[in-house]
Chains A and B, each alone.
Chain A
Amino acid sequence: MDLANTFIDWLRPDWFLNLAVVSDDYNRGRYVAGLWMTIKLSVVSIFLSLLVGVLGAAVQGAPSRTLRVAVGLFVAFFRNTPPLVQLYFFYFAIGTVLRITGENGLPQPLISNFGWAIISLSLFAGALNVEIFRAGVEAVPRSTVEAAEALGYTRLQIYTDIVLPLAVRVSLPALGTNLVNLVKTTTLAYAIAVPELLYISAQIWSEDLNVREMMNVLLVSYVGLVAVLVWVLHRWEKALRIPGYGE
């Protein structure tokens, strides 16, 4: 049966991870460029999504009802619509409207496809980060805040010295999951032709007709990237671990 054969083929070691695919200089150069683009997408989006998260969570604790509702709507919208459609909406719909006249007199997009990928990914992941940080802030017991109040801390000091450091610690596991998802979601940039890892790999396999080998290299690359991120987060979590609590 074909299915069985295919499956057995998959298990052949030389097919499973045949790095010969990227052994020639040209392809290796492209692969590395794609990997670098994916890393750039990931790092910038992670940074911006964390910023969105912290700001959003701070606003959700703010007295202004209008602001709180606005952030609530933002979160609800971005958490409950497909990230791909969000990306298309930004790139094809908003991007078409946002144009400036270039040097040659023709309208040019104001923001590149890379820029839209960053914006879209940051907002998508940022929406959940808002939730994560808010939950972290709420996990800080009222009594700990009161102790700081009794010592004469101002609201801002309480937030920066007590609440935030504790909130970050409880939020880390959930945050890690979300950031791993964000790295995986960078593949969507393929759809708007950002030359990231998946896009480059697709180019290589359609030129060299080495789908299977390239595909395996690709999967392993992503699992590797995620592993690096998980490792970094783990180190961070460990560095922040307070002696006397938990493991």
Chain B
Amino acid sequence: MTMYCLHQKPKVRGHMPVMLPMRLRADGLPLADRLFNLWTLTALVLALAAVLIGPAFAQLATPDERTILTILLEWTPTLAKGFGFNVLISVLSMLIGTIMGVFLGVLQVSQIRPIRQSAWLVTQFFRNSPWLVLLFYCILLIPFQFEVFGVKVPFPGWIKAVIGLSLPVMAYTSEFMRGAILSIPTGQWESAESLGFSRRMTLTNIILPQTVKRVLPSWMNLYAVLTMATPLVSIIGVDDVMALTRAALSAEGRADLLIPMYLYILSWFFLYCYPISSLTRVLERKYSVKL
């Protein structure tokens, strides 16, 4: 009775006993794994340099114009600050989203039906809404300042953006937690119960610690996805790396700068996110859980 909502094991959809388990990222991209080594990184940097320096040499003929490389280097400190801002936004959203998500996930396996169902509804709603729409929602509907005890506290756009991005993070984390909690063998609950643990104690002392390993790879992957979503904040007027890039491009007003500049920014994100995805795969292989 106590365990009734836990009896339904999460079924691995699509799996058939005659087939091998499908391992998406687990053994995925063995090629890309091999790509992420010193050799390929060097090649990547060289290729990038060629893209940047190539046009630069081509322009030596017109000495009055600065080379593409010079321009990129000049803008690098500004862009780096912008990128740092993206990282800050991603870290904060992840933090807030994870805290809310773990809570929501636990509610999703609550024994009380209405709680379980509303938690499910909230999770599905935010999981299936476009990130950009959620950002608009927050930026336009959260007031720009709050009054706390008569003191006006400003609520800048970027904080609203953090909240907007934390909503989908919450929803995904909630789903991960639900899956992980349900994947813990029922025996764990039963043995804890027979030792006299309350449900709450069982959850916090026995079940949740075991979910960490199971959730970690998906959670890290989510972080990479979130980081790649941070440029969206430029659309709603936050001065992140994307907004700064576009400002730089219009300040320079040179058509030949467009491709190198965008590639430059893309490679920043690549160099930040690729190691995270690679690590995710390594962890997934290591912790691969048989559901």
Contacts and interface: CB of A to CB of B under 8 A. Distances in A.
B19 A139 contact: yes
Contacts of A132: 24
Where chain B touches its partner, the secondary structure class is helix
Contacts of B169: none
| Most chain A CB neighbours (cut-off 10 Å) among B224, B228, B230, B269 | B228
Interface string A99-132: 0000000000000000000000000000000011
Interface stretch (A21-29, A66-74, A152-160): A66-74
B128 interface: yes
B11 A80 contact: no
B20 A141 contact: yes
Interface string B28-43: 1101100100000000
A3 B138 CA distance: 12
B132 interface: yes
A170 B128 contact: no
B136 to A, nearest CB: 7
B231 interface: yes
Interface residues of A, number: 71
B130 A84 contact: no
Nearest to A174: B24
Contacts of A141: 18-20
Contact of A202 (B129, B136, B142, B277): B136
Contacts of B103: none
Interface stretch (B108-116, B143-151, B198-206): B143-151
Contacts of B266: 77, 81-82, 85-86, 89
Contacts of B17: 245
Contacts of A170: 14-16, 19, 22
Contact of A2 (B32, B132, B143, B232): B143
B22 A92 contact: no
A60 B32 CA distance: 12
Given A76-B35, A246-B16, A219 B129 contact: yes
B277 A79 contact: yes
Interface in A212-247: 212, 215, 218-219, 222-223, 226-227, 230, 237, 242, 245-247
A97 B259 contact: yes
A8 to B, nearest CB: 13
B47 to A, nearest CB: 11
Given A6-B142, A81-B269, 11 more contacts: A2-B147, A72-B32, A81-B273, A84-B242, A89-B263, A186-B130, A219-B125, A219-B137, A227-B128, A230-B128, A247-B11
Interface of B: 11, 13-25, 27-29, 31-32, 35, 125, 128-134, 136-137, 140-143, 146-148, 224, 227-232, 234-235, 242, 246, 249, 255, 258-259, 261-263, 265-266, 269-270, 273-274, 277
Sort A-B residue pairs by CB-CB distance and give the 5 closest, nearest first: A72-B31, A93-B258, A89-B262, A184-B130, A82-B228
